[in-house]
C-alpha cells in the first residue's frame, strides 16, 4: 500500500501538520528545526513516500497541469523546444498536457479538452493566423495564463519568448551578399519580419531579391524538389536560395543531385532552424540557427512565474540567431 503523509509523520514521530509543512514547502519558509526536517525527509525516503498531486491540487485549487499547444508541422527541432518546456514544468512540479493540431477545428477541440481537464495555463507556439490569434485572445480575456514561443501575438497580459525574426533575415542576407550573390530567391511562410531583415541587408548594398510565400501545410521537402526543377529549366534565374527550413533545403539538394546540379557551385542554399537533417545531407546545409531549447524553457519559466505569483523581470524575451557555416553556400557561378 502506498505510504501516506500520516505514515510519514508517525514514522518520524512528528505531527501530521509538521510533516506536511516540511514536505510540501521544500523551498519556502518551514517552521521546523533542521533535525526535525532531516527526520521527516529520512522517513519519507524509507517509506518511499511521494506526495499526491491530486490532494495538493484540492488544497490549492490547481491541477498542476499546463497545456502545451503545437501545430502539427515537420521539424525535429520541435522536440528540443518541448524538452525545454518539460524540464521547467517538472522543476515547478507541473505536468504537461500536449495538444497538436492540423487545422482550426482540431485546434479548438484540443483547447476545449484542455479546459475540461482544468489546466492552469498554456504554453503555445504562437500562431499568428487570424482565427487562431482570435481564439488565444478570447482565452486570455477569460483569465487563462498564456505564454507563447516563436511568435509574439502581442496579446496584453501574455508572455512570449522568441528569436529575433528580423535578425534571422538580416544575417542570411548579409551572408549571401557577402559571397557576391545578386540574384536571390527567398521562400518563406508568412514571416514578414524575417523578410524585412533580409530586404534591409540587401538594400544597403543596392540589391533586391525575389520572394515566394508557402501556404501552411505545404510539404517542405517536395516544395524544395519543385524549386530545383524550376531552376533546372531556367524558370528561376538565380544563384542562391534563402529557404524556410533545412527540410526544404534537403529537398533541393536531393533533386539537384538527381538533375546533375552542383551545390554550391551552380546554386547556393542557406536555410533556417539548424535541424538535425542539416548535417545529414551532402553537402551539409549552411543555416541561420535558432536556440530551440531556450525558447521552450524560457516560455515555460515565464508561465510558471505567473502561476506562482512570482515577479517576472520581463514578459517578452527576444533571443539571438546565429550563422552556422557548412557546405551549401559558395560564390556565384559567373556563367549564370
* 253-268: pLDDT as tens digits: 999 999 999 999 999 9
* Residue 245, φ and ψ in degrees, nearest 5: -160, 165
Is the pLDDT score of 330 beyond 90? Answer: yes
pLDDT of residue 73: 59
Q: For position 286, what pLDDT does the model report?
A: 97
Residue predicted with more confidence, 36 or 174: 174
Segment 23-39, tens digit of pLDDT: 766 444 456 677 888 88
Do 155 and 288 form a contact (C-beta atoms < 8 A)? no
Which residue's C-alpha cell is 539548424? 274
List, for residues 295-320, the tens digit of each pLDDT value.
999 999 999 988 888 776 678 999 99
Cα–Cα distance for residue pair 22/330, rounded to 1 Å: 62
Query: Is residue 158 predicted with pLDDT exceeding 80?
Result: yes
Q: Is the pLDDT score of 233 beyond 80?
A: yes
pLDDT of residue 66: 80
Q: 23 near 51, Cβ under 8 Å?
A: yes
> What pLDDT score was predicted for residue 58?
44
In whole angstroms, how large is the CA radius of gyration of the chain? 25
Distances (CA, A) of 147 to 85, 298, 301, 304: 11, 9, 9, 9
Q: What is the pLDDT of residue 62?
A: 64
Q: What pLDDT does 76 receive? A: 62
Q: Which residue has the higher pLDDT, 93 or 176?
A: 176
Q: Does residue 235 or residue 64 have the better pLDDT?
A: 235
* Helices 34-46, 16-24: inter-axial angle, 10-degree rounding: 90
Phi/psi for 270 (5° steps) reads -125, 135
Residue 194 has pLDDT above 80, yes or no: yes
Q: Is 299 exposed, middle or buried (0-12, 13-18, 19+ CB in 10 A)?
A: buried
Mean pLDDT of the 114-132 span: 88
Cα–Cα dist 310/303, whole Å: 10
| pLDDT > 90 fraction of the chain, expressed in percent and rounded | 47
Give the tens place of pLDDT for each residue, 282-301: 999 999 999 999 999 999 99
Tell me, what's the pLDDT at 75?
Answer: 56
pLDDT at 199 over 90: yes
Whether 249 shows a pLDDT value over 60: the answer reads: yes
> Residue 8 pLDDT > 90, yes or no?
no
pLDDT of 198 strictly over 80: yes
Question: Nearest-5° angle of CA 41, CA 47, CA 48?
Answer: 85
CB 248 within 8 A of CB 185: no
24-83 pLDDT, tens per residue? 664 444 566 778 888 888 888 777 776 655 455 445 556 667 878 777 655 567 788 888
User: Looking at residues 217-246, what average pLDDT do you find?
Assistant: 91
Amino acid at each position: 500500500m502506498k505510504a501516506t503523509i500520516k505514515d510519514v509523520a508517525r514514522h518520524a514521530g512528528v505531527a501530521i501538520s509538521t510533516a506536511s509543512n516540511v514536505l510540501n514547502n521544500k523551498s519556502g519558509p518551514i517552521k521546523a528545526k533542521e533535525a526535525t526536517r532531516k527526520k521527516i525527509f529520512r522517513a519519507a525516503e524509507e517509506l518511499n513516500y511521494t506526495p499526491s498531486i491530486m490532494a495538493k491540487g484540492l488544497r490549492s485549487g490547481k491541477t498542476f497541469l499546463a497545456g502545451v499547444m503545437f501545430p502539427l508541422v515537420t521539424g525535429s527541432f520541435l522536440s528540443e523546444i518541448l524538452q525545454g518546456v518539460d524540464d521547467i514544468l517538472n522543476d515547478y512540479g507541473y505536468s504537461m498536457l500536449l495538444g497538436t493540431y492540423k487545422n482550426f477545428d482540431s485546434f479548438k477541440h484540443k483547447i476545449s479538452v484542455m479546459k475540461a481537464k482544468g489546466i492552469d495555463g498554456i504554453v503555445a507556439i504562437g500562431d499568428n493566423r487570424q482565427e487562431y490569434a482570435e481564439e488565444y485572445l478570447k482565452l486570455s480575456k477569460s483569465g487563462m495564463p498564456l505564454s507563447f514561443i516563436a511568435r509574439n501575438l502581442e496579446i496584453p497580459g501574455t508572455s512570449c519568448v522568441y528569436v529575433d525574426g528580423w535578425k534571422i533575415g538580416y544575417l542570411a542576407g548579409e551572408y549571401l551578399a557577402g559571397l557576391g550573390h545578386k540574384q536571390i530567391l527567398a521562400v518563406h511562410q508568412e514571416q514578414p519580419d524575417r523578410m524585412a531583415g533580409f530586404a534591409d541587408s540587401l538594400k544597403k548594398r543596392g540589391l533586391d531579391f525575389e520572394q515566394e510565400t508557402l501556404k501552411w501545410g505545404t510539404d517542405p521537402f517536395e516544395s524544395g524538389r519543385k524549386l530545383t526543377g524550376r531552376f533546372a529549366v531556367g524558370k528561376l534565374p538565380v544563384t542562391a536560395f534563402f529557404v524556410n527550413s533545412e527540410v526544404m533545403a534537403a529537398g533541393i539538394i536531393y533533386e539537384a543531385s538527381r538533375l546533375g546540379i552542383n551545390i554550391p557551385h551552380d546554386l547556393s542554399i542557406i536555410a533556417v532552424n539548424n535541424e538535425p537533417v542539416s548535417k545529414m545531407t551532402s553537402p551539409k546545409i549552411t543555416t541561420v540557427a535558432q536556440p530551440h531549447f531556450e525558447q521552450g524553457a524560457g516560455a515555460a519559466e515565464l508561465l510558471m512565474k505567473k502561476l506562482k505569483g512570482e515577479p517576472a523581470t520581463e514578459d517578452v524575451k527576444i533571443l539571438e540567431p546565429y550563422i552556422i557555416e557548412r557546405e551549401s553556400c559558395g560564390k556565384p557561378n559567373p556563367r549564370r
